[in-house]
């Protein structure tokens, strides 16, 4: 997987300030998006597949908020705490989750439906884990999605251009693993990925040939990345079963850390590190300079970044945070 999320210009400052830095989503009917001639636009394929036309047309109901001076100080304190805990800087993706432009709005609108679908599949298959929007958003943005929101590709994607899954979504091996990943896919993604014309072949950072896929738009990209994340989590669960690790006692931090190890390095790397360091390896701060080739570094900064997002915005990215929950408390089965 690519680890390119640190590139690209900083997003422009969001309007207005409010303590806490939470987004505000107003309930109620959402007006249809108008076309250039003023007529309501019909639903696109993604709008039908990822929550419906109204879910993707909520721009008027999303208000980006900046924290007050007190809130900013609290966030800085939390970042420092997480840096000491994980040994890496926190990548603050909260700004990109505010829905200030069309692509951010599409990402936010797609997340609830994609998360619910993955959790339904996990429940049907009686798997020992679940997913949260904060997890899926963090992985999507960390694997390159943030560049789509803030970098050069944004204009092209907003104009309807397809997305290079290899370069911007971290789905390097999606096409070659399609059969394995299909149970996690919606009908829309399954149909799209079955068409050979959407496949692409690239060479990854290790010089290996990767069979990825071009993606229609942001909502489908959110799902494709999430499906890969789900596949990685399922693979790690198998590793745990083979190594005699009781997954019923794993914390949210452990699940996220090891899923990202599996996502970027594969089940083999996860098994090797698990044998060498044990299931609590996530608790050991990373030591050394930033190193994109280090499985420990990559998993640590992603975990720190997710931990920051869920502690400031909550598992559902709605600003509702359980401040009484212990950092490594066993996750509730309904959310993880």
pLDDT tens for 100-147 read: 889 999 999 999 999 999 999 999 999 999 999 999 999 999 999 999
Number of domains in the chain: 1
In a domain, 234, yes or no: yes
In this model, does residue 185 exceed pLDDT 80?
Answer: yes
Return the percentage of the chain with pLDDT > 70, whole number.
Answer: 75
Of the candidates 85, 129, 123, the residue with the CA atom closest to the CA atom of residue 245: 129
pLDDT on residue 264: 94
Place of tokens 């109901």: 61
What range does the domain containing 234 cover?
A: 45-313
137-to-222, 283, 336 alpha-carbon distances in Å: 8, 22, 15
In a domain, 31, yes or no: no
In a domain, 324, yes or no: no
Question: Residue 97 — pLDDT band, cuts 50, 70, 90?
Answer: confident
* Lowest pLDDT segment from 5-14, 60-69, 251-260: 5-14
Question: Residue 85 — pLDDT band, cuts 50, 70, 90?
Answer: very high
In a domain, 276, yes or no: yes
Question: What mean pLDDT is predicted for residues 210-237?
Answer: 96
Q: What is the pLDDT of residues 145-176, one digit of tens each?
A: 999 988 888 888 888 999 999 999 999 999 99
DSSP code, position 33 = P
pLDDT on residue 96: 87
Cα torsion 260, 134, 66, 95: sign = positive
In a domain, 229, yes or no: yes
HEC readout, 303-335: HHHHHHHHHHHCCCCCCCCCCCCCCCCCCCCCC
Separation CA 172–CA 2 (nearest Å)? 8
In this model, does residue 57 exceed pLDDT 90?
Answer: no
In a domain, 79, yes or no: yes
**Furthest CA-CA distance within the chain:** 63
- Report residue 306 as tokens: 């997710």
Place of tokens 């990925």: 193
Separation CA 35–CA 52 (nearest Å)? 17
pLDDT on residue 240: 97
Question: What mean pLDDT is predicted for residues 170-185?
Answer: 95
Question: What mean pLDDT is predicted for residues 306-323?
Answer: 86
In a domain, 54, yes or no: yes
In a domain, 101, yes or no: yes
């Amino acid at each position: 997987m690519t680890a390119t999320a640190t590139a690209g210009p900083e997003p422009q400052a969001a309007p207005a300030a409010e303590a806490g830095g939470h987004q505000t989503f107003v309930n109620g009917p959402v007006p249809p998006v108008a076309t250039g001639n003023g007529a309501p636009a019909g639903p696109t394929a993604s709008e039908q597949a990822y929550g419906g036309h109204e879910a993707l047309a909520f721009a008027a109901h999303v208000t980006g908020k900046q924290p007050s001076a007190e809130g900013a100080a609290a966030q800085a304190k939390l970042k420092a705490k997480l840096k000491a805990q994980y040994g890496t800087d926190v990548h603050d993706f909260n700004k990109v989750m505010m829905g200030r432009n069309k692509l951010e709005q599409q990402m936010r609108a797609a997340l609830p439906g994609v998360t619910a679908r993955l959790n339904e599949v996990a429940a049907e298959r009686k798997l020992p884990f679940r997913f949260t929007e904060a997890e899926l958003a963090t992985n999507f943005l960390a694997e390159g999605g943030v560049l789509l929101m803030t970098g050069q590709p944004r204009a092209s994607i907003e104009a309807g251009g397809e997305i290079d899954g290899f370069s911007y979504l971290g789905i390097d091996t999606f096409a070659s693993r399609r059969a394995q990943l299909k149970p996690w896919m919606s009908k829309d993604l399954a149909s799209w990925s079955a068409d050979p014309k959407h496949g692409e072949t690239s060479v990854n950072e290790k010089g290996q040939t990767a069979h990825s896929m071009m993606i229609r738009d942001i909502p489908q990209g959110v799902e494709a990345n999430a499906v890969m994340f789900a596949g990685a989590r399922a693979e790690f669960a198998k590793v745990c079963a083979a190594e005699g690790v009781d997954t019923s006692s794993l914390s949210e931090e452990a699940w996220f850390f090891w899923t990202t190890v599996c996502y970027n390095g594969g089940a083999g790397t996860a098994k090797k590190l698990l044998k060498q360091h044990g299931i609590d390896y996530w608790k050991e701060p990373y030591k050394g300079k930033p190193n994109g080739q280090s499985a420990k570094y990559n998993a640590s900064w992603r975990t720190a970044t997710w931990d920051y997002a869920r502690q400031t915005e909550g598992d559902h990215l709605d600003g509702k945070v359980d401040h009484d929950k212990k950092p490594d408390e066993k996750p509730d089965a309904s959310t993880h």
